[in-house]
């Protein structure tokens, strides 16, 4: 008997039979009693994946591979919701933490790394001369809103996309005073007709607006011309144009969406890739705006936490010295083209769309129909050692061609399996 071909080291161990969830389910039962909502992050809840056929708890990760609580391995496209730009346990992160841990975690006065990390950040963000650090994306976007109100003397804002959980963003959810809703208008950007509607709203209400806070949509691509039109329309009415780059920062380009599109915002908010998984966010922009933060009660004890700032510096150095942007785009393009080819061959409605670095999986524009088809697809992919979100997924700098090709092959198998099942049901 010939010896079996050895598994490539960057590929997950094959899962034999159904996924084992014994330990995951034990932890889930305990979490339901102890943790409101089961987990700290809404988008990590089990019901956002394929309940009963998908890992619930992950135990560890290395590179683009993760291992669940039951010891099964997967190629990870969730990547901590995009925070793990360099994958799991990258040396630029792990070694920096070990190196600086003896210096302490947070001190009683400012530390040198607060200065050096800002210097490193403004060096790569277009138009930035100053920056302030926080811990979450919502912290940074909330600071940006308060700053824009202070600068303009206006109270109303327009938000586009998801900008965080704070009151002025999620004004239509429980626990928020009704009066808050009067100050925020949330506008979509999911379809081409949404673009003129956004511009028209700014034209009509510009005199009352402090800012337009815009996160780039991921289910479609927009043009530089449109983004420039948003900026120009804002400028015409004295409205501050803020790009929410919590996701797009360091991903579409080293300098984020500003660099990718060649359009400069008045200032930007950043998180996720800023420290490749360490808890850190920032607001960055020109001195004429950012200096006014010192007028405000915008303060956080943990903004000066030294390990995250040291990792930020190390990660930015890693970004600048590698071709990670090109690699992420190439891997995302390879994934999109491969999966779409299988979808076309099997007659599936699945399509991978959006930007190469953030592949967006879609079975249908109708959300309930999409979810109905995506759940068994997620389950089938997990059985083959690949975990995906229902829509937006993330390529990291350490995903390999072998992992992308494994994912494409797995998608082909799942889609063929689905097509065969549909044919049998129809007969």
pLDDT single digits (tens) 276-289: 999 999 999 999 99
Same domain (yes/no): 132, 108:
yes
Q: What is the pLDDT of residue 7?
A: 62
Phi, psi of 43 (to 5 degrees): -80, 0
Q: What is the pLDDT of residue 3?
A: 45
In this structure, what token pair is assigned to residue 162? 């998801």
Q: What is the mean pLDDT of residues 39-55?
A: 92
Give 23's strand partners: none
Same domain (yes/no): 176, 232:
yes
In a domain, 4, yes or no: no
The answer to whether residues 216 and 161 touch, using CB atoms and an 8 Å cutoff, is yes
| Beta-strand pair 209-214/240-245 | parallel
Alpha helices per DSSP H over 266-384:
287-290, 306-321, 324-346, 367-383
- Say which CATH number the domain at 51 has: 3.90.1150.10
Which residues contact residue 200 at a Cβ distance below 8 angstroms, ignoring those fewer than 6 apart? none
Q: What is the pLDDT of residue 8?
A: 75
Same domain (yes/no): 236, 108:
yes
Q: What is the mean pLDDT of residues 308-337?
A: 97
In this structure, what token pair is assigned to residue 353? 């769309």
Same domain (yes/no): 188, 286:
yes
Mean pLDDT lowest for which of 6-20, 309-323, 367-381? 6-20
**Per-residue pLDDT tens for 246-303?**
999 999 999 999 999 999 999 999 999 999 999 999 999 999 999 999 999 999 999 9
pLDDT band at 239, cuts 50/70/90? Answer: very high
Q: What is the mean pLDDT of residues 322-348?
A: 97
Q: What is the mean pLDDT of residues 375-388?
A: 98
Which residue, 321, 336, 351, sits at the end of a domain? 321
Give 144's strand partners: none
Question: What is the phi-psi region of residue 134: left when phi exceeds 0, alpha when psi lies from -120 to 50, beta otherwise?
Answer: beta
Classify the C-alpha dihedral 372-374-377-381 as positive or negative. Answer: negative
Its domain, for residue 317, covers 91-321
Count of domains for the chain: 2
Q: What is the pLDDT of residue 425?
A: 65
In a domain, 356, yes or no: yes
Same domain (yes/no): 327, 194:
no
The percentage of residues in the chain with a pLDDT greater than 70, rounded to a whole number, is: 97
In a domain, 273, yes or no: yes
Same domain (yes/no): 222, 189:
yes
Which residues contact residue 387 at a Cβ distance below 8 angstroms, ignoring those fewer than 6 apart? 49, 54, 55, 66, 74, 75, 76, 77, 78, 378, 381
């Amino acid at each position: 008997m010939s010896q079996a071909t050895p598994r490539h080291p960057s590929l997950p161990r094959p899962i034999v039979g159904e996924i084992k969830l014994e330990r995951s389910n034990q932890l889930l039962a305990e979490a339901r009693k102890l943790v409101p909502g089961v987990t700290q992050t809404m988008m990590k809840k089990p019901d956002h994946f394929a309940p009963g056929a998908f890992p619930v708890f992950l135990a560890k990760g290395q590179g683009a591979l993760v291992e669940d609580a039951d010891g099964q391995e997967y190629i990870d496209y969730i990547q901590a919701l995009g925070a793990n730009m360099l994958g799991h346990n990258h040396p630029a992160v792990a070694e920096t933490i070990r190196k600086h841990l003896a210096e302490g975690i947070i001190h009683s006065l400012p530390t040198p790394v607060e200065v050096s990390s800002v210097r490193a950040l403004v060096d790569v963000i277009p138009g930035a001369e100053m920056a302030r650090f926080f811990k979450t994306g919502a912290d940074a976007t909330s600071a940006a809103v308060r700053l824009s109100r202070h600068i303009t003397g206006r109270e109303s804002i327009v938000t586009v996309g998801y900008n965080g959980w704070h009151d002025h963003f999620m004004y239509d959810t429980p626990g928020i005073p009704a009066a808050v809703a009067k100050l925020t208008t949330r506008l979509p950007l999911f379809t081409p007709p949404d673009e003129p509607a956004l511009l028209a709203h700014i034209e009509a209400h510009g005199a009352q607006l402090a800012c337009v806070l815009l996160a780039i949509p991921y289910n479609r691509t927009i043009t530089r011309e449109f983004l420039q039109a948003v900026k120009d329309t804002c400028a015409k009415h004295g409205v501050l144009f803020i790009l929410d780059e919590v996701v797009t920062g360091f991903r579409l380009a080293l300098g984020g969406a500003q660099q990718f599109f060649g359009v400069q915002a008045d200032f930007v908010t950043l998180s996720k890739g800023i420290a490749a998984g360490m808890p850190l966010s920032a607001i960055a922009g020109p001195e004429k705006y950012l200096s006014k933060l010192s007028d405000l009660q915008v303060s956080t004890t943990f903004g000066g936490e030294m390990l995250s700032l040291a990792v930020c510096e190390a990660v930015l150095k890693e970004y600048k010295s590698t071709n990670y942007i090109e690699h992420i785009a190439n891997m995302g393009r390879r994934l999109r083209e491969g999966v779409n080819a299988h979808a076309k061959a099997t007659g599936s409605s699945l399509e991978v769309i959006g930007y190469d670095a953030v592949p967006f999986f879609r079975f249908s524009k109708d959300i309930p129909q999409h979810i109905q088809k995506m759940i068994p697809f997620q389950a089938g992919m997990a059985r083959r050692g690949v975990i995906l979100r229902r829509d937006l997924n993330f390529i990291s700098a350490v995903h390999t061609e072998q992992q992308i090709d494994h994912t494409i092959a797995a998608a082909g198998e799942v889609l063929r399996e689905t097509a065969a099942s549909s044919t049998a049901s129809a007969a």
